[in-house]
Amino acid sequence: MQHPYARLPDRSFWRTAVAERPPADIQDLWTPKFPIGQDAPVITAGSCFARHIGPALLREGMHWYDAELPPPGLTAEARQARGYRRFSFRTGNIYTAAGLRQWFAWALGTRTPPVEVWRDADGRCHDPYRPTVEPDGFSSPEEALASRQVTLDAIRRALATADVLVFTLGLTEAWHDTVDGTVLPMCPGTVRGTFDPDRHRLRNHTVAEVLRDLTAALALAREASPRLRTVLTVSPVPLTATATGAHALVATTHSKSVLRAAAGQLAAELEHVDYFPSYEIVTGFPYRAAFYEPNLRTVSPDGVAFVMRHFLDGLHGRTGRPEHAPDPTPTPTPDAGGEDTWCDDAVLDYYSRGLGPGHSSGPVPAPR
């Protein structure tokens, strides 16, 4: 009887699948576990890289479901500044599995969100869990909490409506509030709020913790909609900064490895969870970092298009190099200045230039 390796396809061998192919011709990186129909409602959430998925699905004629539409009369610039049309609900970036679990628990009523708000020097109020969605803040705590409730209602509506959730994991480092037991999207004192070393503690989540939080979050979601299936991805965007004391490169490798391991394990264990390799498509060394801007952090438009082409080709069973596929060879692009203005954590780069006010409560330039 032949051993198993004698029956494997070319895609299973490094030489035939990678080494003997031009990078643009590497195919079959993803075989979906389940179909996603043209009209199936898809919701998206996660790190800043996740914002590309909804528009790509719309361009393909698929159904990206936006549960929290902007109010009429806003300009496109105002919609972007206030966090509309990035994800399926206006949470801002959800970088961690713990953050996703927290939002789902609040929306579905299994936990009660805190009522504390942050005030800036002008007396404007900001939601600690969505510190960038209203750049000018709210006029009162009541207005801030009412706005958050609109988002919680949108999450609940999205989960009840969707057939598929696409969630992009971004970080393992997170700041926890030890007073109310919550996880914060950003370190207080960077974008908004005031840092309190006795209250705000950094935790670098382990594989076991990420797996636990993801499992709990998706269990909550499927209680709301038993038919819901999930596609997990890992963002290829490196950490802007690490508070662990490690080198940023080492911290990034650690964080992404943890997220990749947890996502892969959950996809292997649960039939309704799949993993799409956006991280590998951008960071894999056959592509030689060609899909990054000069700051080696921001993924270029060609890189985004390349990732989304693989995603859509996998869904539709297309093989062979896509027509008009971008060629992953370095192309000079304008320097993005070290920041991706769509990423909330990009504001941390401000502190690397010696300009940041340390633990001040004063605001710094927020992502646009």
Per-residue pLDDT of the chain (368 residues; tens, 9 = 90+): 889 999 999 999 999 999 999 998 998 999 999 999 999 999 999 998 888 899 989 999 999 999 999 999 999 999 989 999 999 999 999 999 999 999 999 999 999 999 999 999 999 999 999 999 999 999 999 999 999 999 999 999 999 999 999 999 999 999 999 999 999 999 999 989 999 999 999 999 999 999 999 999 999 999 999 999 999 999 999 999 999 999 999 999 999 999 999 999 999 999 999 999 999 999 999 999 999 999 999 999 999 999 999 999 999 887 655 444 455 544 433 333 334 555 666 666 656 665 554 444 444 444 43
- Check if the beta carbon of residue 199 is closer than 8 Å to that of residue 175: no
Nearest to 260 by CA among 234, 285, 230: 234
pLDDT the model gives residue 340: 55
User: Domain segments of the chain: what residues?
Assistant: 31-353
- Tokens (6 digits) for 348: 């941390």
- Can you give the pTM of this predicted structure? 0.89
pLDDT the model gives residue 349: 67
Q: How far apart are CA 185 and CA 347, in angstroms?
A: 13
Q: How far apart are CA 292 and CA 285, in angstroms?
A: 12
- Tokens (6 digits) for 23: 């990078």
